[in-house]
Amino acid sequence: MIAIVISACLVGDPGVCKDYRIPLVYAGDTNRCAANAQPHFAKWAASHPGWRIVRWHCTSSDVQDL
């Protein structure tokens, strides 16, 4: 399984940042994840007002990097 890891910072305090993991339900590789990530960003941003995505990457969902 694959997951998107989003690093986001507070709009009002850019020094406060946090990582969020979005698990994806399809089996695939990180290239497919990267190609299909954009709609997940919009959905995440809509449910996290006040946060700004500063970077992201795709990883194996079994990697515990958060």
pTM of the model: 0.81
Q: Which two tokens stand for residue 56?
A: 């992201």
| Domain-embedded: residue 56 | yes
- Provide the residue range defining the domain that includes 38: 2-60
| Domain-embedded: residue 44 | yes
How many C-beta atoms surround the C-beta of residue 58 within 10 A? Answer: 21
Give the number of domains in the chain.
1
Q: Which residues contact 59 (CB under 8 A, 6 or more apart)?
A: 2, 3, 5, 30, 65
pLDDT tens for residues 16-62? 999 999 988 776 788 888 888 999 999 999 999 999 999 999 988 66
